[in-house]
Each structure stands twice: as C-alpha cells, then as structure tokens.
Amino acid sequence: MNDHKPKKILVLGYVWPEPNSSAAGSHMLSLLTLFVRQGWQVTFASPALKGDHKVDLRELGIEEQSINLNCSSFDDFVTKLDPNIVLFDRFMLEEQFGWRVAKHCPKALRILDTEDLHSLRHARRQALKQSRPLSTADFNSELAKREVAAIFRCDLSLIISDFELALLKNHYAVPEHILVHCPFMLDLQHFTASDISYCDRQHFVSIGNFRHEPNWDAVLFLKQHIWPLIRKQLPKAELHIYGAYPPPKATQLHNPKQGFLVKGWAEDAKQVMQQARVCLAPLRFGAGIKGKLAEAMWCGTPNVTTHIGTEGMLMGLDWSGLTTDLTRFEDQTGSAIDFASQAVELYQNEELWQQKQQNGYLLIESNFDKTLIQEKLLARITEIEINLDTHREHNFIGQMLQHHQLKSTQYMAQWIEAKNNR
C-alpha cells in the first residue's frame, strides 16, 4: 500500500446513525469520528431508509452511499472502492455482505461491531414471555448460531459488554484474539460534575428509543405495575418519559392526572436528564450496555434499574443507584413493590442520593474513557493488519465458516437477485 494514500474504511450500517435517538447510534458515531481523526477516508453505506433524526455524515467528511440487498451492484461498488478495512454494523450486515467483501476484497480487514449480542437479548425475551429462567438451549438458539458464526468469520469483533465478552469466550469458545472489549467512548475532557443539586431537581425520568423492544416493555411495566405504587407514596411526583419514535400505543399512556407524562422526542436529552432527581430503567430483558444509564451518570442523576441495566457497566465498581430483580416470575407483584420502594427511597434520601451520584461519576471516569478505549482499539487493528494472514491462520473455524458461507449465501443471494430481475 502506498503510504501517502489515506487508508480507506467502509462501514456497512444496519441503519443510518442517529446519535440522539439511541445508544447504538451514539456508539457508531464515536467510531466514525475516531476513523476520521486518523486521517482515514471513511465511507458509510447502508441499505436502510434514512430516519428523521439521522446525522449528516457529510458534514464530518464522511461519504454516504445507499446500497441494495441481494444485488451484484454492491460487488462493483466495493471493488472500485477497494477498502483496507470493512466494518459491519451488526451481524446481519455481515451475513448479507460479508461473502461479497471476502470475494472481491480478500485482503481487507473485516471488523464486526456487534452493538450487543442480539441472540442474548432474544433469549432473555423468550424466557421472560414464558416465565422461566434461561436454559442452555436458549444460548444455543438458531439466532445464536448465526451471530456467533459471523463473529468467527470476522478478523475482529467489537464487544461492548465485559459480560458478553466472557460469554463468547467461555460458552461459545470464541478465541480471544478475534475479540476486543469496546464499551462506550466518552469524552472525559469535557466532563464536569452537574451543578444542579438534589434540592433543585424534581420528578422522575425514563428515556429510551421506543423502537427498541426492551424500552417499550419497561415503559409498559412502569405504567401498569410500578408507577401507581410510587405515586401512592409521592402524590405530587411526576414521571417524564422521553424517547424517539413513540407509537400511538405509547402516547395513549399519557395521563397528567396520574403524573405519567409521555413526552416523546427530547431535543436535549442531557438537559431533561439533569433536571430530574431520579432515572427509572426497569429493564426486564436486553443485552449490551445502556446508553440511558451512562447518560444519567454523566448528568449526575442516580437511577433505579435491574441487573440487566447494570450488566457490563460495573467492571468491579459500585453502582450509581439501586437495583431490583424484575425477573422473579413467581412474584411479579413483589418485584414491582421492591422497585417502587427503592425509587421512593432514592428520591427522598438526600445522603443516599449524593453517594450514588458520586458512584456514577467514578464509573464514568474509570470505565468509559474515550482516550484509553480508542488507543486499545487502534492498537489491535494495527496489530492484526500487520499480521493478517497469520491472524487468519489461527482461526480455522472462521476460515471454515467463511468457506461455507461463501457458497451457500452466495447462491441464495444470486437466486434472490435473479428472481427479483424477472
């Protein structure tokens, strides 16, 4: 490669980034701006429709390109671009385009940004619906086989949660050299403790993209089980619920008399978070790490959540709020009572509130330092690039899966394209 030519990276997006709508969008933007700062030529391509809150990547110096699924036009596009690195946003994009990249750009470093383990979130959702604990069969689902196969096929996968990193290594036997822990990358140079005190804050807040199913489940559980219990003890308190793309079934829950206020899109999520005294996140299933809780910590707003909410964020430190298990299937009412009691306690106890606020600041500074995380990620990318052939030789399962995917997925995609062209 000519050293005078900028490195080219192609990012294949499952959706167009919306950093103000979801943690996934914010995390993707962190990666994109990192690549731009390296002086790389960045192209973002996606088959998705552009949403209402999409960021204009062209303002950041990133080329935007719409692409089609199951269409050989992508082959011409990627061959002409000839990227040094291709990053797949979620395993579904690797399934769609991975074999094409491997065929037409075999020397390109292939990276998978998992965002979270979709199969883990799905398994937890199924167990919750069926009121039972997780089983080995849940972890070995068809979705898990697809997702883990995509991880094996790539040269490096970005894993946002240390819990999921351990699960991949210990349960699925994914080799450590194709994984890297890459949590939220927060700019601590611009971090200052909130100057809005406990006494100057009021009400509760809950925030999350309504298109993300765990968020909608949390809002519904708040409405039906938790908020009436809190309201009985704090009759003047309000719950302000924010999130992108609220459907009619969510806006219909809006009830000022009950103090249950569905606000929808927040123009400035940090501002509304800082005004609240306590953030509520009764997440009963999910995966990855939670942007809403990272934002709450950043804003100095203690929270009440579940082990699903704290998963992957603690890394050995004390939590920035209180937690309750909402998956006690035999006692859902008791779980809701516990959650509501903790919410009221945190809301009324200034000393406890201040302690949890400080825990949150420590978590942010210790676990999500952009500079340290990005240095580690770039070092891994460079190391693999230099030794790409050797790196791949030590991942025989990945080579085997790549061989079979190149055959089966290629023929399926060509059949779909031929059918569409009739």
pLDDT value, residue 151: 98
* CA proximity to 353, closest of 294, 288, 277, 260: 277
pLDDT value, residue 415: 63
Any idea what the Cα angle at residue 166 is, between residues 160 and 172, rounded to 5°? Answer: 105
pLDDT value, residue 414: 66
User: Can you list the domains of the chain with their CATH numbers?
Assistant: 8-186+370-420 (3.40.50.2000), 191-367 (3.40.50.2000)
Instruction: Look up the pTM and report it.
Output: 0.92
The alpha carbon torsion through 98, 103, 109, 112 (nearest 10 deg) reads: 0
| Count of all residues that appear for the chain in the document | 422
pLDDT value, residue 1: 45
pLDDT value, residue 411: 61
What does the pLDDT look like over 205-226, one tens digit per residue? 999 999 999 999 999 999 999 9
> Can you list the residues of the chain whose pLDDT is less than 50?
1-2
What does the pLDDT look like over 300-350, one tens digit per residue? 999 999 999 999 999 999 999 999 988 766 567 779 999 999 999 999 999
